[in-house]
Structure 1
Amino acid sequence: MTSAGFLYSKGIVFYPADTPSISTFLESNPGAYTTTRTHNNSASLLFWDRHLQRLSNSVKILLTSNPQFLFKSLNSTINPLLIPPPPSNPMWESTIKSLVNESVNKVLPVALRETRNEGEELAVTALVTGNTEKLGEVKRNVFEALDVHVHVGSHVPHVFGVKGNGARVAVVGPGRNIAEAKYSDWVRLRKSLEKLRPPTVTELLLSNDG
């Protein structure tokens, strides 16, 4: 269970009164994203390194194959400098990680101080989006045209080992496009698929073998 909380965007920390729900925020902004939560009484972010690696890969995939999912109102003319570094370039992943961690560190301490109640953890979503207005100003590399937004909301985790708390999964097909990347437009597209979910099922998995 999550609720609206705090948002860090374009250098500003927004408090609950000005922060949309995470679903509304993702539906309103293009980009690659990942969501995790705090763990052990908010002592750490769960599997954070894995989330950062997948996020950097998602941004690279969208830049290469579907930049319209990264940039809002992107026309067919793409700045030729908008080319991600090759996969072997360690600068790519380390720079994305640095940008995201810097933004997380701006808002997470505020959320920890202001809102967390007993038994709650925090859900943390990082969204990397392309700034269309900056495309014409890119001089050195694509990082200059990327913005990072971080949404933090409260989360009450299910207790492991309790009957009824486990996920109930249904597999349907076909699989989604660009499955290797996690992007915000999918939050809007998957709404129609929720109609396929039986009442007793908590999660839908898409598969070409479904």
Structure 2
Amino acid sequence: MSSCRLLFHNGVVLPSGDVPPVSTFLQSHSGAYTTTRTINNGKSLLLWERHLSRLSGSIRILLNSKPEFLFGPGHLPFPIIQPVPELSISSLVNGSMSNALKFVQHERGRNDGEEIAVTVLVSGDMEKLNRINGENGDLERRVMEFLDVWLHIGSYCPSPFGVRENAANLALAGRGRDAASAKYSDWVRLRKPLEKLRPVSATELLLSNNGDHLLEGCITNFFVVCHKKQPGKISGGSFCQFEVQTAPISDGVLPGVIRELVIEVCLSIGIPLREISPSWSEHELWEEAFITSSLRVVQHVEIIKVPITSWESFPSEKPEEVEWKEKRFRDGPGMITELIQKEIMRRGNREGYPLSYF
């Protein structure tokens, strides 16, 4: 299935000629979603159980607080009388995954070095919910009836970590998102206005509510390695004069799967970490920076740009009129970034979910 995209709805494959790129697909379907990929030449899914747990959490959050992001704009469903159990959602998604992956493996054949990217979108069907709302009976059956599972599957060739051409160039371009604790597809559409402010060289846009405290990227979590006092070089394998900083969930960022793993890694191997939104006013103390996502995993940052003009007037300016100031990092990932990346991949391999389990 090299360079091929497949789309499944409740485990049934749709005509391949009608499958759009994943970003286009997400813009046209409301729901909670997660994206992961295979590792080891398609033998297992990276951190699948963590992704499934986060997907279940996103669904429950949207049902309780933002149903329009699950059922579609303008849809305000009747309240769900009981909480939706995570086990029911897991069973629903894994059932569709089982059907889809059997099809994919049959079609794929052997593709050395190529992995599979999998995006799972769970959407609410308002008509189905109206029919079953208020019914007595098994809640798991009810979940099966008003939630639909979409699977967008395509080939993915991982980029080598640490290569300069694969460095991230970031630019601050917008405010934090609504309902950040859940990952939902409507954000793909809602973030489009930010794109008009993207500098040509930027590969990812950063979010902030005040222009100083940096929250996350549009599709990534953001980290800096910061000197605790005065700038200096990392030497002797000691981390005590540095700390990794990333915005806390309470500031309004996505609880990313890799973000969670970075925190676990730092705590386990003795790298100081503080959940605090990195402050641009202290960027002279930043020694390294990296972003995380489920496809790239850890990507080192080469340049961060922020607008020179005041944050209040920035969004109204024309893109060509924006002036930027920048923070430039060393070529290639720093020692702490590289150490975190290696440990995450080691744990990712340990937590790989074999496709044979489906």
Question: Normalising by the residue count of structure 1, what TM-score does the alignment of the two structures yield?
Answer: 0.86
CA contact (8 A) 1:122 1:155 kept: yes
- Return the offset for 1:166: 2.5
The amino acid that maps onto 2:91 is S
Q: Is the 1:5–1:111 contact (alpha carbons within 8 Å) kept by the matching residues of 2?
A: no
Q: Distance in 1 between matches of 2:81 and 2:184?
A: 19
Deviations 1:44-82 (A, max 9, x none): 111212211111111111111110111136544x324x2
Counterpart position of 2:129 = 135
Indicate the percent of aligned positions where both proteins have the same amino acid.
53
Q: Post-superposition shift, 1:100?
A: 1.0
Identify which of 100, 121, 134 aligns with 2:115.
121
Higher Rg:
2
RMSD of the alignment, in Å?
A: 2.2
Alignment of 1:18-167 (within 5 A): 18-72=18-72, 74-76=74-76, 78-80=77-79, 82-83=80-81, 85=83, 92-115=85-108, 117-138=111-132, 139=135, 140=137, 141=139, 143=143, 144-167=145-168
Deviation, 1:3, is 5.4
Q: 1:175 to 1:128 in 2, by over 3 A?
A: same
User: What CA distance in whole angstroms lies between the structure 1 residues aligned with 2:82 and 2:208?
Assistant: 29
Conserved 8 A contact 1:8-1:107: yes
Retained in 2: the 8 A contact 1:168–1:203?
Answer: yes
Aligned-residue offset at 1:37: 0.8
Bigger mean CA deviation after superposition, 132-141 or 39-48: 132-141
Check if 1:194 corresponds to 2:195. Answer: yes
Does 2:1 match 1:8?
no
Stretch moving more, 138-147 or 61-70: 138-147
Q: Is the 8 A contact 1:38 1:46 kept in 2?
A: yes
Give the strand-richer structure, 1 or 2. Answer: 2
Q: Distance in 2 between matches of 1:73 and 1:167?
A: 33
Q: Structure 1 residues 21 and 3, CA, compared in 2 at 3 Å: closer, same or farther?
A: farther
- Aligned partner of 2:207 in structure 1 is 206
Distance in 1 of aligned mates of 2:74 and 2:173: 32
What runs of 5+ residues in structure 1 fail to find an aligned partner?
86-90
Shift, 1:199, TM fit = 2.0
Q: Deviations over 1:75-110 (max 9, x none)?
A: 44x324x2451xxxxx71121111111111111232
TM-score by length of 2: 0.52
